[in-house]
A and B are shown apart, each in its own frame.
Chain A
Protein backbone atom coordinates (compact mmCIF):
# COMPACT_ATOMS: atom_id res chain seq x y z
CA UNK A 1 0.00 0.00 0.00
CA UNK A 2 1.30 3.44 -0.87
CA UNK A 3 0.97 4.70 2.61
CA UNK A 4 3.31 7.63 2.50
CA UNK A 5 1.38 9.41 -0.20
CA UNK A 6 -1.18 10.80 2.10
CA UNK A 7 -0.66 11.47 5.75
CA UNK A 8 -3.49 12.16 8.12
CA UNK A 9 -4.23 15.83 8.47
CA UNK A 10 -3.18 16.04 12.08
CA UNK A 11 -0.28 14.36 13.75
CA UNK A 12 -1.37 11.34 15.74
CA UNK A 13 -0.57 12.71 19.13
CA UNK A 14 -2.22 16.06 18.80
CA UNK A 15 -5.33 14.37 17.45
CA UNK A 16 -6.04 12.48 20.61
CA UNK A 17 -6.14 15.29 23.10
CA UNK A 18 -7.39 18.47 21.47
CA UNK A 19 -10.47 19.21 19.44
CA UNK A 20 -9.04 19.03 15.95
CA UNK A 21 -11.53 18.27 13.22
CA UNK A 22 -12.18 14.56 12.71
CA UNK A 23 -14.59 15.25 9.86
CA UNK A 24 -13.76 18.05 7.43
CA UNK A 25 -15.44 18.67 4.11
CA UNK A 26 -14.42 21.20 1.52
CA UNK A 27 -16.89 22.18 -1.16
CA UNK A 28 -18.38 18.67 -1.01
CA UNK A 29 -20.91 18.32 -3.82
CA UNK A 30 -23.06 15.57 -5.22
CA UNK A 31 -25.18 15.98 -8.30
CA UNK A 32 -27.81 13.55 -9.55
CA UNK A 33 -28.32 14.68 -13.11
CA UNK A 34 -29.26 18.32 -12.92
CA UNK A 35 -30.19 18.12 -9.24
CA UNK A 36 -27.59 19.22 -6.73
CA UNK A 37 -28.41 17.00 -3.77
CA UNK A 38 -25.46 18.40 -1.84
CA UNK A 39 -24.18 21.77 -2.95
CA UNK A 40 -20.64 22.79 -1.95
CA UNK A 41 -20.84 21.75 1.65
CA UNK A 42 -18.00 22.91 3.88
CA UNK A 43 -18.11 21.59 7.41
CA UNK A 44 -15.76 20.78 10.22
CA UNK A 45 -16.62 18.55 13.15
CA UNK A 46 -14.32 18.45 16.19
CA UNK A 47 -13.31 15.15 17.75
CA UNK A 48 -15.51 13.94 20.56
CA UNK A 49 -18.52 16.04 19.65
CA UNK A 50 -22.03 15.08 18.70
CA UNK A 51 -22.94 16.89 15.55
CA UNK A 52 -26.31 17.00 13.85
CA UNK A 53 -27.28 17.57 10.26
CA UNK A 54 -30.82 18.86 10.53
CA UNK A 55 -33.37 19.44 7.85
CA UNK A 56 -36.40 18.08 6.12
CA UNK A 57 -36.38 15.03 3.84
CA UNK A 58 -34.58 15.89 0.66
CA UNK A 59 -32.29 18.49 2.26
CA UNK A 60 -29.23 16.42 1.35
CA UNK A 61 -28.48 14.93 4.76
CA UNK A 62 -28.48 11.28 3.73
CA UNK A 63 -26.51 12.00 0.58
CA UNK A 64 -23.90 13.80 2.69
CA UNK A 65 -23.74 10.82 5.00
CA UNK A 66 -23.35 8.40 2.10
CA UNK A 67 -20.39 10.40 0.83
CA UNK A 68 -18.77 10.58 4.26
CA UNK A 69 -19.17 6.83 4.72
CA UNK A 70 -17.62 6.17 1.26
CA UNK A 71 -20.82 4.69 -0.15
CA UNK A 72 -21.20 7.40 -2.75
CA UNK A 73 -18.36 9.16 -4.54
CA UNK A 74 -18.53 12.98 -4.46
CA UNK A 75 -19.10 14.76 -7.77
CA UNK A 76 -16.92 17.62 -6.65
CA UNK A 77 -15.02 18.80 -3.59
CA UNK A 78 -13.48 16.60 -0.94
CA UNK A 79 -13.99 15.21 2.52
CA UNK A 80 -11.62 13.83 5.13
CA UNK A 81 -12.87 11.50 7.81
CA UNK A 82 -10.64 10.27 10.66
CA UNK A 83 -7.64 11.66 8.81
CA UNK A 84 -8.21 10.14 5.38
CA UNK A 85 -9.77 11.33 2.16
CA UNK A 86 -13.03 9.48 1.53
CA UNK A 87 -12.50 9.24 -2.22
CA UNK A 88 -8.79 8.40 -2.23
CA UNK A 89 -8.45 6.12 0.79
CA UNK A 90 -11.89 4.64 1.34
CA UNK A 91 -10.68 1.47 3.07
CA UNK A 92 -8.75 3.47 5.63
CA UNK A 93 -11.85 5.52 6.31
CA UNK A 94 -14.09 2.46 6.54
CA UNK A 95 -11.97 0.75 9.16
CA UNK A 96 -12.25 3.84 11.39
CA UNK A 97 -15.95 4.58 11.16
CA UNK A 98 -19.17 2.95 12.22
CA UNK A 99 -22.38 3.44 10.29
CA UNK A 100 -26.01 2.86 11.15
CA UNK A 101 -28.14 3.39 8.05
CA UNK A 102 -31.59 4.90 8.16
CA UNK A 103 -33.11 1.66 7.01
CA UNK A 104 -33.38 -1.40 9.17
CA UNK A 105 -29.98 -3.01 8.91
CA UNK A 106 -29.76 -5.83 11.45
CA UNK A 107 -30.33 -9.27 9.98
CA UNK A 108 -33.66 -10.62 11.22
CA UNK A 109 -32.73 -14.21 10.41
CA UNK A 110 -29.82 -14.16 12.86
CA UNK A 111 -29.73 -13.69 16.63
CA UNK A 112 -28.43 -10.51 18.21
CA UNK A 113 -25.25 -12.31 19.16
CA UNK A 114 -24.73 -13.58 15.62
CA UNK A 115 -25.33 -10.15 14.16
CA UNK A 116 -22.60 -8.80 16.42
CA UNK A 117 -20.27 -11.69 15.60
CA UNK A 118 -20.59 -11.13 11.86
CA UNK A 119 -19.54 -7.52 12.23
CA UNK A 120 -16.76 -8.24 14.71
CA UNK A 121 -15.27 -10.55 12.08
CA UNK A 122 -15.83 -8.27 9.12
CA UNK A 123 -14.20 -5.41 11.01
CA UNK A 124 -11.20 -7.60 11.75
CA UNK A 125 -11.58 -7.52 15.51
CA UNK A 126 -8.99 -10.07 16.69
CA UNK A 127 -10.42 -13.46 17.57
CA UNK A 128 -9.31 -13.49 21.21
CA UNK A 129 -11.11 -10.20 21.76
CA UNK A 130 -14.38 -10.85 19.94
CA UNK A 131 -16.35 -12.59 22.65
CA UNK A 132 -15.40 -10.04 25.27
CA UNK A 133 -16.26 -7.09 23.03
CA UNK A 134 -19.61 -8.64 22.18
CA UNK A 135 -20.33 -9.31 25.84
CA UNK A 136 -19.54 -5.69 26.72
CA UNK A 137 -21.62 -4.43 23.82
CA UNK A 138 -24.61 -6.52 24.84
CA UNK A 139 -24.26 -5.31 28.39
CA UNK A 140 -24.03 -1.68 27.35
CA UNK A 141 -27.18 -1.81 25.25
CA UNK A 142 -28.98 -4.00 27.78
CA UNK A 143 -29.64 -6.92 25.45
CA UNK A 144 -27.89 -9.74 27.36
CA UNK A 145 -31.18 -11.55 27.88
CA UNK A 146 -32.17 -11.31 24.23
CA UNK A 147 -28.73 -12.14 22.84
CA UNK A 148 -29.77 -15.52 21.52
CA UNK A 149 -33.20 -14.53 20.27
CA UNK A 150 -33.73 -14.02 16.55
CA UNK A 151 -33.65 -10.32 15.71
CA UNK A 152 -36.96 -10.55 13.86
CA UNK A 153 -38.57 -10.96 17.28
CA UNK A 154 -36.97 -7.76 18.61
CA UNK A 155 -38.84 -4.48 19.03
CA UNK A 156 -37.82 -1.47 16.94
CA UNK A 157 -35.95 0.07 19.85
CA UNK A 158 -34.03 -3.13 20.56
CA UNK A 159 -33.03 -3.37 16.91
CA UNK A 160 -31.76 0.20 16.87
CA UNK A 161 -29.69 -0.42 19.97
CA UNK A 162 -28.29 -3.59 18.46
CA UNK A 163 -27.39 -1.74 15.29
CA UNK A 164 -25.52 0.87 17.25
CA UNK A 165 -23.64 -1.86 19.10
CA UNK A 166 -22.79 -3.52 15.78
CA UNK A 167 -21.39 -0.26 14.49
CA UNK A 168 -19.05 0.35 17.42
CA UNK A 169 -17.57 -3.12 18.07
CA UNK A 170 -14.34 -2.06 16.40
CA UNK A 171 -14.21 1.16 18.44
CA UNK A 172 -14.49 3.58 15.55
CA UNK A 173 -13.37 7.14 15.98
CA UNK A 174 -16.47 8.38 14.15
CA UNK A 175 -19.99 6.99 14.31
CA UNK A 176 -22.54 7.95 11.64
CA UNK A 177 -26.21 7.63 12.47
CA UNK A 178 -28.77 8.27 9.75
CA UNK A 179 -32.10 9.25 11.32
CA UNK A 180 -31.42 7.08 14.36
CA UNK A 181 -34.83 7.47 16.01
CA UNK A 182 -37.27 7.48 13.09
CA UNK A 183 -40.25 5.38 14.01
CA UNK A 184 -39.25 4.85 17.65
CA UNK A 185 -41.51 5.58 20.58
CA UNK A 186 -40.39 8.24 23.07
CA UNK A 187 -38.94 5.74 25.55
CA UNK A 188 -36.91 3.93 22.91
CA UNK A 189 -35.78 7.28 21.54
CA UNK A 190 -34.48 8.37 24.95
CA UNK A 191 -32.63 5.07 25.27
CA UNK A 192 -30.89 5.66 21.93
CA UNK A 193 -29.88 9.15 23.05
CA UNK A 194 -28.44 7.76 26.27
CA UNK A 195 -26.34 5.23 24.38
CA UNK A 196 -25.00 7.88 22.03
CA UNK A 197 -23.95 10.04 24.98
CA UNK A 198 -22.39 7.07 26.71
CA UNK A 199 -20.31 6.24 23.64
CA UNK A 200 -18.94 9.72 23.57
CA UNK A 201 -18.13 9.63 27.26
CA UNK A 202 -16.52 6.20 27.30
CA UNK A 203 -14.69 6.14 23.99
CA UNK A 204 -14.56 9.81 22.98
CA UNK A 205 -16.40 8.73 19.84
CA UNK A 206 -17.36 11.53 17.51
CA UNK A 207 -20.97 11.15 16.42
CA UNK A 208 -22.48 12.64 13.31
CA UNK A 209 -26.19 12.11 12.99
CA UNK A 210 -28.91 13.28 10.68
CA UNK A 211 -32.37 14.03 11.93
CA UNK A 212 -35.47 15.88 10.97
CA UNK A 213 -36.57 16.08 14.57
CA UNK A 214 -35.51 19.47 15.87
CA UNK A 215 -36.02 18.35 19.43
CA UNK A 216 -33.53 15.52 18.91
CA UNK A 217 -30.88 17.92 17.67
CA UNK A 218 -31.62 20.27 20.54
CA UNK A 219 -31.35 17.54 23.14
CA UNK A 220 -28.34 15.67 21.85
CA UNK A 221 -26.08 17.78 19.65
CA UNK A 222 -23.22 20.12 20.52
CA UNK A 223 -23.19 21.49 17.02
CA UNK A 224 -25.89 21.65 14.38
CA UNK A 225 -25.92 22.42 10.69
CA UNK A 226 -29.35 23.29 9.36
CA UNK A 227 -29.45 22.02 5.82
CA UNK A 228 -31.79 23.20 3.16
CA UNK A 229 -31.75 22.23 -0.52
CA UNK A 230 -28.27 20.78 -0.26
CA UNK A 231 -26.69 23.77 1.46
CA UNK A 232 -25.95 24.77 5.02
CA UNK A 233 -28.47 27.45 5.94
CA UNK A 234 -27.11 27.94 9.45
CA UNK A 235 -24.37 26.52 11.62
CA UNK A 236 -23.80 26.67 15.37
CA UNK A 237 -24.74 25.19 18.70
CA UNK A 238 -28.47 24.73 19.27
CA UNK A 239 -28.51 27.56 21.81
CA UNK A 240 -26.62 29.90 19.42
CA UNK A 241 -29.09 29.25 16.68
CA UNK A 242 -32.07 29.77 18.94
CA UNK A 243 -30.48 32.90 20.38
CA UNK A 244 -30.05 34.41 16.94
CA UNK A 245 -33.74 34.11 16.32
CA UNK A 246 -34.93 35.64 19.55
CA UNK A 247 -36.02 35.12 23.12
CA UNK A 248 -37.77 31.82 23.78
CA UNK A 249 -37.28 30.53 20.26
CA UNK A 250 -37.22 26.82 19.58
CA UNK A 251 -34.98 25.09 17.08
CA UNK A 252 -38.07 24.77 14.89
CA UNK A 253 -38.34 28.55 14.88
CA UNK A 254 -34.66 28.74 14.01
CA UNK A 255 -35.20 26.44 11.09
CA UNK A 256 -38.01 28.57 9.72
CA UNK A 257 -35.95 31.67 10.30
CA UNK A 258 -32.88 30.42 8.46
CA UNK A 259 -34.56 28.71 5.58
CA UNK A 260 -37.62 30.86 5.10
CA UNK A 261 -39.50 27.64 5.04
CA UNK A 262 -41.41 25.34 7.31
CA UNK A 263 -40.27 21.89 8.25
CA UNK A 264 -43.29 20.32 6.61
CA UNK A 265 -42.29 21.22 3.06
CA UNK A 266 -39.57 19.49 1.15
CA UNK A 267 -38.99 15.82 0.56
CA UNK A 268 -40.13 13.77 -2.34
CA UNK A 269 -42.68 11.04 -2.71
CA UNK A 270 -39.87 8.53 -2.61
CA UNK A 271 -38.46 9.92 0.63
CA UNK A 272 -41.87 9.85 2.21
CA UNK A 273 -42.45 6.28 1.15
CA UNK A 274 -39.10 5.21 2.47
CA UNK A 275 -39.44 6.96 5.81
CA UNK A 276 -42.83 5.43 6.40
CA UNK A 277 -41.64 2.02 5.38
CA UNK A 278 -38.79 2.26 7.84
CA UNK A 279 -41.16 3.47 10.50
CA UNK A 280 -43.45 0.53 9.93
CA UNK A 281 -40.66 -2.01 10.06
CA UNK A 282 -39.23 -0.56 13.19
CA UNK A 283 -42.56 -0.07 14.87
Chain B
Protein backbone atom coordinates (compact mmCIF):
# COMPACT_ATOMS: atom_id res chain seq x y z
CA UNK B 1 0.00 0.00 0.00
CA UNK B 2 2.83 2.38 0.70
CA UNK B 3 3.94 3.08 -2.87
CA UNK B 4 0.54 4.59 -3.65
CA UNK B 5 0.63 6.47 -0.46
CA UNK B 6 3.64 8.39 -1.54
CA UNK B 7 2.41 8.92 -5.04
CA UNK B 8 -0.97 10.26 -4.03
CA UNK B 9 0.53 13.22 -2.29
CA UNK B 10 1.47 16.17 -4.35
CA UNK B 11 4.23 17.09 -1.93
CA UNK B 12 5.50 13.56 -1.47
CA UNK B 13 9.17 14.43 -1.50
CA UNK B 14 8.83 16.86 1.37
CA UNK B 15 6.60 14.52 3.23
CA UNK B 16 8.51 12.10 5.38
CA UNK B 17 5.29 10.83 6.94
CA UNK B 18 5.49 7.27 5.81
CA UNK B 19 8.76 7.24 4.00
CA UNK B 20 10.40 4.91 6.46
CA UNK B 21 7.79 2.27 5.79
CA UNK B 22 7.62 2.95 2.09
CA UNK B 23 10.25 0.53 0.95
CA UNK B 24 8.68 -0.80 -2.19
CA UNK B 25 10.61 -3.90 -3.09
CA UNK B 26 10.59 -6.06 0.00
CA UNK B 27 9.51 -9.67 -0.18
CA UNK B 28 5.93 -10.17 0.93
CA UNK B 29 6.67 -11.66 4.33
CA UNK B 30 8.94 -8.80 5.33
CA UNK B 31 6.20 -6.42 4.32
CA UNK B 32 3.89 -8.33 6.59
CA UNK B 33 6.24 -8.16 9.51
CA UNK B 34 6.89 -4.47 8.94
CA UNK B 35 3.20 -3.77 8.60
CA UNK B 36 2.43 -5.63 11.80
CA UNK B 37 5.15 -3.81 13.70
CA UNK B 38 4.01 -0.47 12.37
CA UNK B 39 0.36 -1.19 13.09
CA UNK B 40 1.16 -2.24 16.63
CA UNK B 41 3.14 0.91 17.24
CA UNK B 42 0.41 3.04 15.64
CA UNK B 43 -2.14 1.34 17.88
CA UNK B 44 -0.15 2.00 21.04
CA UNK B 45 0.54 5.60 20.09
CA UNK B 46 -3.12 6.22 19.32
CA UNK B 47 -4.22 4.71 22.64
CA UNK B 48 -1.71 6.85 24.52
CA UNK B 49 -2.78 9.94 22.59
CA UNK B 50 -6.43 9.56 23.57
CA UNK B 51 -5.50 8.84 27.18
CA UNK B 52 -3.08 11.79 27.22
CA UNK B 53 -5.75 14.20 26.00
CA UNK B 54 -8.26 12.93 28.56
CA UNK B 55 -5.90 13.19 31.49
CA UNK B 56 -4.93 16.71 30.43
CA UNK B 57 -8.57 17.69 30.66
CA UNK B 58 -8.91 16.01 34.04
CA UNK B 59 -5.91 17.87 35.41
CA UNK B 60 -7.52 21.16 34.48
CA UNK B 61 -10.77 20.34 36.22
CA UNK B 62 -10.00 18.23 39.26
CA UNK B 63 -13.28 19.08 41.08
CA UNK B 64 -14.60 15.84 39.65
CA UNK B 65 -12.15 13.91 41.77
CA UNK B 66 -13.44 15.41 45.01
CA UNK B 67 -17.08 14.85 44.22
CA UNK B 68 -16.19 11.22 43.70
CA UNK B 69 -15.08 10.93 47.31
CA UNK B 70 -18.51 11.72 48.77
CA UNK B 71 -20.25 8.43 48.07
CA UNK B 72 -17.55 6.10 49.35
CA UNK B 73 -17.20 8.28 52.45
CA UNK B 74 -20.90 7.82 53.21
CA UNK B 75 -20.84 4.09 52.57
CA UNK B 76 -17.85 3.57 54.81
CA UNK B 77 -18.65 6.20 57.45
CA UNK B 78 -22.34 5.45 57.85
CA UNK B 79 -23.31 2.07 56.43
CA UNK B 80 -19.99 0.45 57.32
CA UNK B 81 -19.87 1.78 60.86
CA UNK B 82 -23.47 0.72 61.63
CA UNK B 83 -23.11 -2.73 60.12
CA UNK B 84 -19.81 -3.32 61.87
CA UNK B 85 -21.43 -2.47 65.18
CA UNK B 86 -24.45 -4.66 64.50
CA UNK B 87 -22.20 -7.58 63.56
CA UNK B 88 -24.98 -8.65 61.23
CA UNK B 89 -22.79 -9.90 58.43
CA UNK B 90 -20.39 -12.70 59.25
CA UNK B 91 -17.06 -12.07 57.55
CA UNK B 92 -14.89 -14.69 59.24
CA UNK B 93 -11.64 -13.59 60.78
CA UNK B 94 -11.77 -10.17 59.10
CA UNK B 95 -13.68 -7.28 60.67
CA UNK B 96 -16.62 -5.91 58.71
CA UNK B 97 -15.01 -2.54 58.04
CA UNK B 98 -11.91 -4.24 56.66
CA UNK B 99 -14.13 -6.51 54.62
CA UNK B 100 -16.04 -3.58 53.23
CA UNK B 101 -13.23 -1.22 52.15
CA UNK B 102 -12.28 -3.15 49.00
CA UNK B 103 -15.96 -3.60 48.16
CA UNK B 104 -16.67 0.10 48.44
CA UNK B 105 -13.60 0.93 46.38
CA UNK B 106 -14.76 -1.39 43.61
CA UNK B 107 -18.26 0.00 43.88
CA UNK B 108 -17.20 3.62 43.63
CA UNK B 109 -15.09 2.80 40.58
CA UNK B 110 -18.09 1.02 39.05
CA UNK B 111 -20.50 3.88 39.74
CA UNK B 112 -18.26 6.38 38.00
CA UNK B 113 -17.19 4.16 35.10
CA UNK B 114 -20.71 3.07 34.24
CA UNK B 115 -21.57 6.63 33.21
CA UNK B 116 -18.39 7.16 31.23
CA UNK B 117 -20.19 6.57 27.94
CA UNK B 118 -22.03 9.87 28.25
CA UNK B 119 -18.78 11.38 26.95
CA UNK B 120 -19.28 9.56 23.69
CA UNK B 121 -22.76 11.01 23.26
CA UNK B 122 -21.43 14.43 24.15
CA UNK B 123 -18.60 14.14 21.63
CA UNK B 124 -21.01 12.87 19.02
CA UNK B 125 -23.28 15.88 19.54
CA UNK B 126 -20.32 18.20 19.22
CA UNK B 127 -18.83 16.57 16.13
CA UNK B 128 -15.55 15.57 17.75
CA UNK B 129 -16.39 11.93 17.27
CA UNK B 130 -17.01 12.38 13.54
CA UNK B 131 -13.52 13.69 13.14
CA UNK B 132 -11.95 10.86 15.10
CA UNK B 133 -13.82 8.33 13.03
CA UNK B 134 -12.75 9.94 9.76
CA UNK B 135 -9.11 9.63 10.86
CA UNK B 136 -7.02 6.54 10.14
CA UNK B 137 -6.80 5.73 13.86
CA UNK B 138 -7.93 2.20 14.70
CA UNK B 139 -11.41 2.13 16.19
CA UNK B 140 -10.13 -0.30 18.78
CA UNK B 141 -7.41 2.22 19.70
CA UNK B 142 -9.99 4.97 20.18
CA UNK B 143 -11.97 2.69 22.50
CA UNK B 144 -8.91 1.42 24.36
CA UNK B 145 -7.72 5.00 24.83
CA UNK B 146 -11.00 5.88 26.47
CA UNK B 147 -10.79 2.80 28.68
CA UNK B 148 -7.24 3.67 29.68
CA UNK B 149 -8.18 7.20 30.68
CA UNK B 150 -11.11 5.90 32.72
CA UNK B 151 -8.53 3.68 34.43
CA UNK B 152 -6.28 6.62 35.19
CA UNK B 153 -9.19 8.53 36.67
CA UNK B 154 -10.03 5.60 38.90
CA UNK B 155 -6.56 5.66 40.47
CA UNK B 156 -7.48 8.91 42.16
CA UNK B 157 -10.50 7.18 43.64
CA UNK B 158 -8.36 4.37 44.97
CA UNK B 159 -6.16 6.89 46.75
CA UNK B 160 -9.19 8.55 48.33
CA UNK B 161 -10.80 5.30 49.49
CA UNK B 162 -7.54 3.95 50.91
CA UNK B 163 -7.03 7.17 52.84
CA UNK B 164 -10.60 7.06 54.13
CA UNK B 165 -10.14 3.44 55.15
CA UNK B 166 -6.92 4.20 57.04
CA UNK B 167 -8.57 7.16 58.71
CA UNK B 168 -11.31 4.89 60.00
CA UNK B 169 -8.83 2.36 61.27
CA UNK B 170 -9.20 -0.36 58.66
CA UNK B 171 -6.33 -2.85 58.60
CA UNK B 172 -4.95 -2.25 55.14
CA UNK B 173 -1.80 -3.60 53.57
CA UNK B 174 0.50 -0.87 52.35
CA UNK B 175 3.41 -2.84 50.93
CA UNK B 176 4.48 -1.73 47.44
CA UNK B 177 3.55 -5.11 45.99
CA UNK B 178 0.04 -5.00 47.41
CA UNK B 179 -0.48 -1.42 46.27
CA UNK B 180 0.74 -2.22 42.77
CA UNK B 181 -1.70 -5.12 42.61
CA UNK B 182 -4.55 -2.89 43.76
CA UNK B 183 -3.62 -0.37 41.08
CA UNK B 184 -3.69 -2.98 38.34
CA UNK B 185 -7.11 -4.27 39.35
CA UNK B 186 -8.56 -0.79 39.76
CA UNK B 187 -7.44 0.26 36.29
CA UNK B 188 -8.70 -3.00 34.85
CA UNK B 189 -12.06 -2.74 36.59
CA UNK B 190 -12.57 0.87 35.51
CA UNK B 191 -11.63 -0.09 31.96
CA UNK B 192 -14.13 -2.97 31.95
CA UNK B 193 -17.10 -0.92 33.14
CA UNK B 194 -16.28 2.20 31.13
CA UNK B 195 -16.06 0.14 27.96
CA UNK B 196 -19.35 -1.51 28.87
CA UNK B 197 -20.71 2.00 29.21
CA UNK B 198 -19.38 2.95 25.77
CA UNK B 199 -21.16 -0.05 24.30
CA UNK B 200 -24.42 1.10 25.86
CA UNK B 201 -23.87 4.64 24.58
CA UNK B 202 -23.33 3.33 21.04
CA UNK B 203 -26.59 1.43 21.26
CA UNK B 204 -28.93 3.94 22.88
CA UNK B 205 -27.51 7.13 21.33
CA UNK B 206 -29.40 9.69 23.42
CA UNK B 207 -28.38 11.10 26.73
CA UNK B 208 -31.77 10.59 28.38
CA UNK B 209 -31.97 6.91 27.56
CA UNK B 210 -28.34 6.45 28.46
CA UNK B 211 -28.76 7.99 31.91
CA UNK B 212 -31.85 5.86 32.49
CA UNK B 213 -30.09 2.66 31.59
CA UNK B 214 -27.04 3.60 33.66
CA UNK B 215 -29.27 4.11 36.71
CA UNK B 216 -30.99 0.80 36.12
CA UNK B 217 -27.69 -1.07 35.84
CA UNK B 218 -25.68 0.22 38.77
CA UNK B 219 -27.64 -1.24 41.67
CA UNK B 220 -28.09 -4.76 40.26
CA UNK B 221 -24.38 -4.89 39.43
CA UNK B 222 -23.57 -3.75 42.96
CA UNK B 223 -25.99 -5.98 44.84
CA UNK B 224 -25.35 -9.04 42.70
CA UNK B 225 -21.73 -9.03 43.82
CA UNK B 226 -19.66 -9.73 46.90
CA UNK B 227 -19.00 -6.02 47.51
CA UNK B 228 -20.76 -5.65 50.87
CA UNK B 229 -21.53 -9.25 51.83
CA UNK B 230 -19.78 -12.53 51.11
CA UNK B 231 -20.99 -14.89 48.39
CA UNK B 232 -21.61 -17.57 51.00
CA UNK B 233 -24.47 -15.54 52.52
CA UNK B 234 -26.38 -15.32 49.24
CA UNK B 235 -29.20 -17.55 48.09
CA UNK B 236 -28.20 -19.88 45.28
CA UNK B 237 -29.67 -17.89 42.42
CA UNK B 238 -27.90 -14.73 43.55
CA UNK B 239 -24.62 -16.57 43.93
CA UNK B 240 -25.05 -17.77 40.40
CA UNK B 241 -25.62 -14.22 39.10
CA UNK B 242 -22.74 -12.88 41.16
CA UNK B 243 -20.33 -15.32 39.62
CA UNK B 244 -21.23 -13.92 36.22
CA UNK B 245 -20.56 -10.37 37.37
CA UNK B 246 -17.07 -8.96 36.68
CA UNK B 247 -17.39 -6.79 39.79
CA UNK B 248 -17.28 -9.92 41.95
CA UNK B 249 -13.87 -10.85 40.58
CA UNK B 250 -12.59 -7.35 41.07
CA UNK B 251 -13.74 -7.25 44.69
CA UNK B 252 -12.31 -10.71 45.26
CA UNK B 253 -8.89 -9.62 44.05
CA UNK B 254 -8.96 -6.33 45.95
CA UNK B 255 -9.91 -8.13 49.14
CA UNK B 256 -6.91 -10.41 48.84
CA UNK B 257 -4.57 -7.54 48.01
CA UNK B 258 -5.81 -4.77 50.29
CA UNK B 259 -6.67 -6.23 53.66
CA UNK B 260 -4.32 -7.73 56.17
CA UNK B 261 -5.33 -11.34 56.50
CA UNK B 262 -7.56 -11.10 53.43
CA UNK B 263 -7.77 -14.02 51.03
CA UNK B 264 -9.11 -14.57 47.56
CA UNK B 265 -11.98 -17.01 47.08
CA UNK B 266 -11.54 -17.42 43.35
CA UNK B 267 -7.76 -17.02 43.11
CA UNK B 268 -5.97 -13.91 41.83
CA UNK B 269 -5.11 -15.59 38.53
CA UNK B 270 -8.75 -16.34 37.83
CA UNK B 271 -9.75 -12.82 38.84
CA UNK B 272 -7.24 -11.31 36.47
CA UNK B 273 -8.10 -13.65 33.60
CA UNK B 274 -11.83 -12.94 33.93
CA UNK B 275 -11.36 -9.17 34.06
CA UNK B 276 -8.90 -9.09 31.18
CA UNK B 277 -11.01 -11.44 29.08
CA UNK B 278 -14.15 -9.40 29.61
CA UNK B 279 -12.25 -6.21 28.80
CA UNK B 280 -10.91 -7.53 25.51
CA UNK B 281 -14.34 -8.82 24.48
CA UNK B 282 -15.96 -5.49 25.35
CA UNK B 283 -13.31 -3.52 23.46
CA UNK B 284 -13.92 -5.60 20.36
CA UNK B 285 -17.68 -5.08 20.62
CA UNK B 286 -17.32 -1.35 21.26
CA UNK B 287 -14.88 -0.91 18.36
CA UNK B 288 -17.39 -2.61 16.13
CA UNK B 289 -20.28 -0.43 17.32
CA UNK B 290 -18.34 2.86 17.50
CA UNK B 291 -18.98 4.03 13.93
CA UNK B 292 -22.72 3.56 14.31
CA UNK B 293 -22.74 6.25 16.99
CA UNK B 294 -22.52 9.02 14.40
CA UNK B 295 -25.37 7.77 12.22
Contact = CB atoms under 8 A, between A and B. Distances in A.
A112 B109 CA distance: 32
Contacts of B52: 118
B61 A109 contact: yes
Given A103-B125, A105-B128, A13 B7 contact: yes
A124 B8 contact: no
Interface stretch (B9-17, B207-215, B279-287): B9-17
Interface stretch (A38-46, A89-97, A249-257): A89-97
Contacts of A176: 134
Given A96-B9, A109-B56, 18 more contacts: A1-B35, A8-B4, A12-B8, A66-B294, A71-B130, A71-B291, A83-B4, A95-B136, A103-B125, A103-B126, A103-B130, A105-B126, A107-B128, A119-B135, A122-B46, A122-B137, A163-B131, A203-B11
Nearest to A173: B8
Interface residues of A, number: 56
Contacts of B88: none
Nearest to B137: A122
Nearest to A98: B134
A205 B10 CA distance: 8
A10 to B, nearest CB: 9
Contacts of A163: 131
B18 interface: yes
A173 B128 contact: no
Interface in B27-77: 35, 42, 45-46, 49-50, 52-53, 56-57, 60-61
B1 A99 contact: no
Given A109-B57, A109-B61, A92 B1 contact: yes
Contact of B10 (A16, A91, A105, A166): A16
Interface in A153-179: 163, 166-167, 170-171, 173, 176
A219 interface: no
A121 to B, nearest CB: 4
Contact of B53 (A66, A107, A150): A107
Contacts of A109: 56-57, 60-61
Given A126-B16, A204-B10, A110 B56 contact: yes
Interface of B: 1, 3-12, 15-18, 20, 35, 42, 45-46, 49-50, 52-53, 56-57, 60-61, 125-128, 130-137, 291, 294-295
Interface string A66-105: 1001111000000000110000000110111101111111
B53 A118 contact: yes
Nearest to A100: B131
A7 B11 CA distance: 21
A29 to B, nearest CB: 15
24 contacts: A8-B7, A12-B3, A12-B4, A12-B7, A13-B7, A16-B12, A66-B295, A70-B134, A94-B134, A96-B5, A105-B128, A107-B57, A110-B56, A118-B49, A121-B46, A121-B49, A122-B49, A122-B137, A123-B135, A123-B137, A124-B17, A126-B20, A171-B17, A173-B10
A114 interface: yes
A interface majority secondary structure: loop
A264 interface: no
B17 A170 contact: yes
A166 B131 contact: yes
A102 B136 contact: no
Given A103-B125, A171-B15, A72 B295 contact: yes
Given A15-B7, A83-B8, A104 B134 contact: no
A217 to B, nearest CB: 22
Contacts of B3: 12
B139 to A, nearest CB: 10
Contacts of B9: 96, 171, 173
